[in-house]
Amino acid sequence: MKAGVKLVLLGAAILALAVSALYLKRSDVYLLSLYAVYLMATFGLNLTVGYAGQMSLGQAAFFGIGAYVAAILLKLGWPFLLVLLVAAAVCFLLGLALGFPALRVQHHYLAFATLGFNVLVYLVMRNEEKITGGTYGISAIPRPTIVGVDLNGHVAWFWFTLGSLVVLGALLWWLLRSPWGRAFAALRDNPIRAESLGINVTAYTLLAFAIGAACAGVGGVYFASLVEFIEPGPFHFSTSLMLLLAVIVGGQGRFFGPVVGTIVIILVPELLRSSSAPWLKFMQVWYLAVFGVGVVLLMVWLPGGLLSIPERFARKAKAKS
Amino acid sequence: MGELVQLVVSGVATGAIYSLAALGFTLLWQASGTINFAQGEFVMLPAFAMLFCVLAGMPLWLGVLAACVAAMIVLGWGFKRLIVDPLMRHGVIPLVIATLGLSTLLKTTVRAGYSAEAHQFGSPFPGGVFQVAGINVSWADVGTLLVAGIIVIALQTFVTRTVTGRAMQAVAQNTEAARVLGIDVKRMVLYTFLINAVLAVVAALLITPTYLAKFDMGDSIGLKAFLAAIIGGFNQTRGALLGGVLIGVLENLVGFYVSPAYKEGVALMLFLVVILVRPEGLLGKVEERKV
């Protein structure tokens, strides 16, 4: 398929999603918005994990920081776009501060550093009641009005989130095709070769990590406004593991990998939870166990993720002929 | 002063348990390059296995024995055959992801299949405290230190004094050379997995009376085992011991003098300081990078 055709198809799909919101139930539109919000975080994580080849197990912490920054500042009456900028900047800088010591040493240390960071952030959210409201959280987070457009309705908010997601995706797409993005891939494939070609390995890896964190921060801002109430629960490190698995399951280093992976970790479990069919009751309880088995099997047979299936078939067909 | 000593003593006891989990973690890494993100769940499962045995009316020692056998079969041999062996050829990252999936699977299975509650688990040691030079020491701490100490010394003796143990060390230090010298590398790696399983059972036995048996109890133990291993030095067995004990003691001190709410964050702070100041770990040796 030509690039132009693909672009048209993608645009049509996004448009269809936007129009469908008019006909769906309120709860389903909410679910789609939630999906779009998490997709911002996994898009960012894909840059860190898939393109720069770094294990990050703290994406939920950055997501949470974004959400709390948004909740606090929006309640103080700050304009939404400024809050967005602040949240992204805070996460970017925290990402740099955390990644610097870890990446100076060995690459898998980042996994442990980010996991520990997530534990610490969760503790702060739970314990610093004056700032974060502790386990009671922060409620009545307002949805903004931007340039006179009221975004309070569930459809309006979904459209705004979807539009923002498309912008974020386009930015990442551009970044990955810029010399910077090429440098990220060079790092992942062979760090020593990249270094000998004059790429500053630590700086670029750090940058990829910090940009991924900033995307999560942005996602967190939309999350806070969507849910209108936040508490520490969703930002536990188990969410980080799920976000990482979403990237891997979809296909790390493939631009649309997170789109598939996030369906598996967000949409499917939420749909299961809201359904009342008796035969689905079993899956509600056991979904994560099935998912765990699925991940193990996927790693054994299809380490490239679900999106690598077409290539796998193509290669097999070629091998036969 | 007495207070401080008490905190240090009980911290060393808790740290000794982290050390056992960290020890298994480094052994696996040295022998086979496996990073096991399900290490915490490897402690949680035996805890439940022993709980079931006790609930079924068995004496605790029999339960421990049964858990050891089951752990060696399932978490040692089974884990190696079903997950590590098929994934080894793909490199480290797919294996890490697969163990993450395994950890989710094990947690959900226990929660959905048995219970989401925390369960009491009787201590293998007598309760109560005794006084030495004005300091209160609990029998549980003494017992924990004793058991952990015996296990570590036995392991060290096995590794340094027996032919099999030395062969295992050879595999850990240089797999290729060991193979050339005629050592059965596969078998030695399998032994490492079996030892890791037994260490996990002992850690479970010691920690469950205070942590309670719960499906997510492995989260915190697993994380501390990784951090302890790195703090001490990933490629040194003694490093895991030191790292575990350091975390245990500092957690107790911070929990008492600073804030109990941030006890869990101590391990991360220590980790960040160590990799800034001494990246190879307190006792670690610098490793050459491979192209």
Using one digit for the tens of pLDDT, what is the confidence trace for A29-73?
Answer: 999 999 999 999 999 999 988 888 888 899 999 999 999 999 999
Asked, for residue A164, whether it belongs to a domain, the answer is yes
User: Touching check for B95 and chain A: CB below 8 Å?
Assistant: yes
User: Touching check for A238 and chain B: CB below 8 Å?
Assistant: yes
| Cα distance between residue B282 and residue B231, in whole Å | 6
Rounded average pLDDT over B154-166: 89
Asked, for residue A268, whether it belongs to a domain, the answer is no
Other beta carbons within 10 angstroms of residue A167's beta carbon come to 10
Boundaries of every domain in chain B: 2-277
The phi, psi pair for B135, rounded to 5°, reads: -110, 135
Using one digit for the tens of pLDDT, what is the confidence trace for B73-110?
Answer: 999 999 998 888 888 877 778 888 899 999 999 999 99
User: Touching check for A72 and chain B: CB below 8 Å?
Assistant: no
Q: Which residue has the tokens 């132009």?
A: A4
Is residue A86's pLDDT more than 70?
yes
**CATH of region B2-277:** 1.10.3470
Tell me the three state secondary structure of residue A251.
coil
| Cα distance between residue B10 and residue A261, in whole Å | 45
* Exposure string over A220-248, b if 16+ CB within 10 A, otherwise e: bbbbbbbbeebbbebbbbbbbbbbbbbbb
Is residue B260's pLDDT more than 70?
yes
Asked, for residue A36, whether it belongs to a domain, the answer is yes
Which H/E stretch holds residue A229? strand A229-230
CB pairs under 8 A between A and B: 115
Q: Which residue has the higher pLDDT, B72 or B172?
A: B72
Per the structure, the complete domain to which residue A210 belongs is given by: 20-234
ipTM field: 0.84
Candidates A212, A312, A111, A113; CA nearest to B93 is: A111
Asked, for residue A253, whether it belongs to a domain, the answer is no
Say which range, A62-71, A280-289, B15-24, B51-60, has the weakest mean pLDDT.
Answer: A280-289
| Cα distance between residue B14 and residue B8, in whole Å | 10
Asked, for residue A129, whether it belongs to a domain, the answer is yes
Would the CB atoms of B87 and A111 count as touching at under 8 Å? no
Q: Which residue has the higher pLDDT, B135 or B71?
A: B71
Tell me the three state secondary structure of residue B91.
coil
Which residues of chain B make contact with A127, given a CB cutoff of 8 A?
259, 261-262
| Cα distance between residue B169 and residue B188, in whole Å | 9
| Cα distance between residue A88 and residue A62, in whole Å | 9
Is residue B170's pLDDT more than 50?
yes
Asked, for residue A306, whether it belongs to a domain, the answer is no
Would the CB atoms of A299 and B107 count as touching at under 8 Å? no
Q: Are B146 and B165 in contact (CB under 8 A)?
A: no
Q: What pLDDT, on the 0 to 100 scale, is given for residue A1? A: 61
The phi, psi pair for B174, rounded to 5°, reads: -155, 95
Would the CB atoms of B105 and A288 count as touching at under 8 Å? yes
Tell me the three state secondary structure of residue B289.
coil
